[in-house]
Amino acid sequence: MALPVRHQMTYWSLALVALLAALWGLGSVILPFLTGGALAYFMDPVADRLQRAGMSRVAATSVIALLLSTGFVVIGLLVLPTLIRQSVQLIETAPDIFNRLQAFLTARFPGIMDEGSVVRDTLIAIGEAIKARGGELVKGVLSSAISVLNAVVFVVVVPVVAFYMLLDWDRMVARIDNLLPREHAPVIRRLASEIDRVMAGFLRGQVSVCLILGTFYAITLMLAGLQFGLLVGAAAGAITFIPYVGALIGGVLALGLALFQFWGDWVSIGIVAGIFVLGQFLEGNVVTPKLVGSSVGLHPLWLIFALSAFGSAFGFVGMLVAVPFAAMIGVLVRFAIERYQASRLFQGLGHPDEATDEDA
């Protein structure tokens, strides 16, 4: 005989509390395992496709691990140092940019740049703040990230965890399926399939979109001669998962830097603007429809709230699990609404036609 619903809710609530307590308490200890698991989940379809092509699971996992390792080495040796250097240079150049902006506004709009005006005082304050605190901010972020991630352990553990989880992914899924409560197994499988669809559509699809557009923006901006092209392209690509925001912020930043660097060379400025127009066209008409498809049911506002809430509560680990939890909660809420609409609470005790017959 099945347990009463109230007891079942109690046990599942305790399990959820225990999971959240583990995330909060273990923190950076489980970070490499979460990251490795995310990589394994991301690459599992690739391994399945290689298996269907005739490779064994071990061979497919080994090929994927080799390609990922090569990519990380290239990024670590070539891209990351340049990204850090451009970040520091941008912080150091920012005061000069604000000084030129102040001179431009003074020449074109002398009224708003008078002594004591709000615009003038704001620009001066921003420039001084960036000059005084910008370098410290970059160094603080880098040192904090290194201390939290414990770089040596992270670099060693994550590939190992990802390799073994990818190797045994199908067996782990089958094992978890065997542990499902028999009474609720069909519903759980249905919800798990829906959660996987949402997560796959967002994580595998949207992350691929971010990588492709970030690479496109970075390479084309550097070819256009923009001084901080790699940094701007990486920033625009990283926030592309929020529709239009990545292109808007990246485009404004790139145009501002282009005006500072190429003032008077309108062809170069136009090329920079055209890069973001082309990128937005490719995103909306080619890349996103191919990789993400139709809506995955994860609204950008809900995603931003989840990232903020989980990041505030659990730190960097919380931000890593925010998207899976957001997908899970969204699916569960839709399921709860579906059950509510099928219940007597929503439909009432009788159907409208029955009530009409009784009234007659």
What is the DSSP code string of 237-296? HHTTTSTTHHHHHHHHHHHHHHHHHHTT-HHHHHHHHHHHHHHHHHIIIIIHHHHT-S--
pLDDT-based confidence at residue 73 (cuts at 50, 70, 90): confident
Q: For 257-284, what is the mean pLDDT?
A: 84
pLDDT above 80 (res 213) = yes
pLDDT for residue 296:
57
Lowest mean pLDDT among 151-155, 281-285, 341-345: 151-155
Q: What average pLDDT does the segment 332-344 reach?
A: 86
**Long-range contacts at 217-221 (CB < 8 A, ≥ 24 apart):** 217/250, 217/275, 217/276, 217/279, 220/275, 220/279, 221/254, 221/272, 221/275
Q: How far apart are CA 46 and CA 52, in angstroms?
A: 10
When pLDDT is cut at 50, 70 and 90, the band that residue 63 belongs to is: very high
Specify the higher pLDDT residue, 79 or 346: 346
Least confident of 84-98, 153-167, 343-357: 343-357
Mean predicted confidence (pLDDT) in 171-193: 86
pLDDT above 70: residue 139: no
**For residues 228-235, average pLDDT:** 84
For residue 315, pLDDT over 60 is answered with: yes
The mean pLDDT value of the chain amounts to 76
Instruction: Please tell me the predicted confidence (pLDDT) of residue 355.
Output: 47
Please tell me the predicted confidence (pLDDT) of residue 59.
92
User: Above 60 in pLDDT, residue 352?
Assistant: no
Query: Is residue 95 over pLDDT 60?
Result: yes
pLDDT value at residue 160: 86
Which residues, in sequence order, are CB contacts of 158 under 8 Å at separation 6+?
A: 32, 35, 36, 39
Distance from the Cα of residue 44 to its chain's centroid: 19
Q: What's the CA gap between 69 and 46, in Å, rounded?
A: 16
Query: 222 burial class (0-12, 13-18, 19+ CB within 10 angstroms)?
Result: middle
- Is a pLDDT exceeding 80 seen at residue 211? yes
Distance CA 212, CA 287 (A): 8
Residue, of 319 and 113, whose pLDDT is higher:
319
Q: So what's the pLDDT on residue 360? A: 45
Q: Residue range 305-332: average pLDDT?
A: 77
Whole-number Å distance between alpha carbons of 278 and 287: 12
Q: Which residue has the higher pLDDT, 225 or 117?
A: 225
Output the six-digit token pair for 277: 């127009």
**SS3 of the chain: helix, strand, coil, percent, to 5:** 85, 0, 15
Per residue in 111-127, pLDDT (tens digit) is 655 566 665 666 666 66
Q: How many residues does the chain have?
A: 360
Q: Per-residue pLDDT averaged across 320-338, rounded?
A: 82
- Residue 340: the pLDDT is 87
Instruction: Give me the percent of the chain exceeding a pLDDT of 70.
Output: 72
Residue 287: is its pLDDT beyond 50? Answer: yes
Average pLDDT of span 13-17 = 81
- Residue 130: pLDDT band by 50, 70, 90 thresholds? low
